[in-house]
């Protein structure tokens, strides 16, 4: 299976190139994009980055791995040089998004994308939230759209966008009511449900080091769409800060690092708006 993934990685050059071309022109959030977010239980500054349309991950070929983005410099700037250490059990990460109140491509309105951490790492035991009605799923959808609005606006009340190295990254004031930190559970010590909807949250933490954490991405269509939640693939992050997404069996950390090295040139970034 590892050989299949490696071969598929080579084939994924075209996929990642399309991602780069499609997302290099602007920072502006588009309906249906996913956010990758980080926050600390001991700090008040978040870090979020728009990683492109959910369809990129939903439609990825089986047994394929792509490079998503490299944010090691930003994570070190925001959370310290030891962000990837097991001593940072206060550091959490997740991915989430929605097309919003109208359909985007094959995603009906109020479709939800959210992660669940593999526990233990390398297992297939994560369980997503069950699909719900249109009106019920509209509630977390509206909160996700609010986060997107604060990302687009980048005003002095919601963040410190200029401090990010990656031009698509956004340092955010977690004390505001439209911040990633707020939507992950509100005020510290973060005991709530993500987006006031997902029981137990959608995050993983780095208590075992960053390479001991993997996030399974689920697509949760509303019940009126007739679909159950589906597993789309898994996000992992290397010590360098390179984030990868795999549709298939996730390689062991050492193998993943080798794959990531080969894929590093495929990562994309998006320039800030003028």
This prediction has a pTM of 0.80
Confidence band, pLDDT 50/70/90 cuts, at residue 13: very low
How confident is residue 206, by pLDDT bands cut at 50, 70 and 90? confident
Euclidean distance between CA atoms 102 and 98, whole angstroms:
10
Measured CA to CA, the distance from residue 177 to residue 133 in angstroms comes to 26
Cβ neighbourhood burial of 274 (10 Å; 0-12, 13-18, 19+): exposed
Compare 12 and 106 and report the one with higher pLDDT: 106
With 80 as the cut, is the pLDDT of residue 36 above it? yes
Are the beta carbons of 161 and 219 closer than 8 angstroms? Answer: no
Average pLDDT, the chain: 78
Residue 134 CA, distance from chain mean position: 23
Candidates 94, 129, 93; CA nearest to 112 is: 129
Q: Report pLDDT digits (tens) over 222-234.
A: 886 556 789 999 9
Predicted pLDDT at 14: 37
pLDDT band at 124 (very low <50, low <70, confident <90, very high): low
pLDDT in tens, 126-157: 788 889 999 999 999 999 999 999 888 764 33
Strands 64-70 and 230-237: unpaired
| Range with the poorest average pLDDT among 68-82, 108-122, 260-274 | 260-274
Residue 45's pLDDT is: 86
Residue 273 has pLDDT above 70, yes or no: no
Which of 183-187, 198-202, 254-258 has the lowest average pLDDT? 254-258
Beta partners for residue 78, in sequence order: none
Half-sphere exposure of 75 (CA within 13 A, CB side): 27
Percent of the chain with pLDDT over 90: 44
Write out pLDDT tens, residues 156-187.
334 444 445 677 888 888 888 888 998 997 55
Cα separation values, 210 from 52, 77, 194, 206, Å: 22, 16, 21, 5
| Tens-place pLDDT, residues 77-123 | 899 999 998 888 889 999 999 999 999 999 999 999 999 998 777 76
């Amino acid at each position: 299976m590892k050989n299949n993934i490696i071969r598929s990685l080579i084939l994924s050059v075209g996929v990642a190139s399309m991602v780069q071309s499609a997302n290099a022109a602007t920072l502006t959030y588009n309906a249906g994009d996913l956010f990758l977010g980080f926050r600390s239980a001991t700090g008040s500054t978040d870090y979020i980055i728009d990683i492109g349309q959910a369809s990129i991950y939903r439609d990825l070929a089986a047994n394929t791995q792509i490079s998503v983005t490299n944010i090691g410099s930003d994570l070190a700037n925001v959370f310290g040089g030891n962000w990837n250490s097991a001593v940072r059990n206060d550091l959490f990460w997740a991915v989430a998004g929605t097309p919003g109140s109208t359909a985007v491509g094959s995603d009906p309105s109020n479709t939800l994308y959210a992660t669940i951490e593999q526990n233990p790492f390398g297992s297939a035991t994560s369980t997503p939230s069950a699909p719900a009605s249109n009106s019920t799923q509209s509630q977390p959808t509206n909160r996700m759209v609010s986060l997107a609005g604060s990302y687009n606006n980048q005003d002095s009340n919601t963040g410190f966008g200029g401090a990010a190295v990656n031009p698509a990254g956004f340092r955010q004031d977690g004390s505001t009511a439209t911040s990633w930190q707020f939507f992950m559970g509100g005020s510290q010590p973060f005991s709530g449900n993500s987006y006031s909807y997902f029981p137990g949250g959608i995050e993983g933490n780095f208590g075992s080091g960053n390479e001991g954490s993997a996030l399974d991405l689920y697509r949760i269509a509303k019940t009126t769409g007739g679909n159950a939640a589906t597993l789309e693939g898994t996000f992992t992050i290397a010590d360098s800060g390179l984030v990868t997404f795999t549709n298939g069996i996730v390689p062991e950390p050492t193998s993943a690092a080798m794959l990531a090295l080969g894929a590093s040139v495929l990562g994309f970034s998006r320039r800030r708006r003028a």
